[in-house]
Amino acid sequence: MSVSLDRIADFLSTVPLFRELDRQALRGFAEVTREQRVAKGALVVTEGDAGDALYVVRSGEVKVALPGDEGREVILGILGVGDHFGELSLVDGRPRSAHVVATQPSTLIVLRRAEFRRQVEQNPQVAWGLMVELSRRLRQADGTIGSLVLLDVPGRVARVLLEHAGPGEPATLIKQLTHQTMAHMIGASRETVSRAMAEFQEKGFISVQRRVVTITDRAALESRSRPRI
**133 compared with 215, residue with greater pLDDT:** 215
Does residue 224 surpass a pLDDT of 50? yes
CATH code (residue 209):
1.10.10.10
Structural domain includes residue 229: no
**The model's pTM:** 0.72
pLDDT recorded at residue 228: 64
Question: How many structural domains comprise the chain?
Answer: 2
The pLDDT value recorded for residue 201 is: 94
Q: Helix, strand or coil for residue 194?
A: helix
Is pLDDT larger for residue 206 or for residue 69? 206
> What pLDDT is attached to residue 91?
74
196 and 123 both lie in a single domain: no
H-type helices in 59-112, by residue range?
Answer: 87-92
Whether 24 and 115 share a structural domain:
yes
User: pLDDT value at position 205?
Assistant: 94
Mean pLDDT of 52-57: 91
- Tell me the per-residue pLDDT of 134-169, one tens digit each, with 9 for 90 and over: 777 777 766 666 666 678 899 999 999 998 888 878
Residues 38 and 140 in one domain: yes
Query: Given pLDDT bands bounded at 50, 70 and 90, which one contains residue 60?
Result: very high
pLDDT band at 1 (very low <50, low <70, confident <90, very high): very low
Residue 53 domain boundaries = 3-145
Mean pLDDT of 36-64: 90
One-letter amino acid at 22 equals D
Q: Are residues 107 and 127 in the same domain?
A: yes
User: Residue 137's domain is classified under what CATH number?
Assistant: 2.60.120.10
Integer Cα distance of 104 and 107 in angstroms:
10
**Do residues 79 and 106 share a domain?**
yes
Same domain, 116 and 9: yes
Q: Are residues 116 and 167 in the same domain?
A: no
Query: Which residue, 116, 145, 174, sits at the end of a domain?
Result: 145
98 CB burial (10 A radius; 0-12, 13-18, 19+): buried
Looking at the fold, whether 23 and 118 belong to one and the same domain comes out as yes
Whether residues 75 and 139 share a domain: the answer is yes
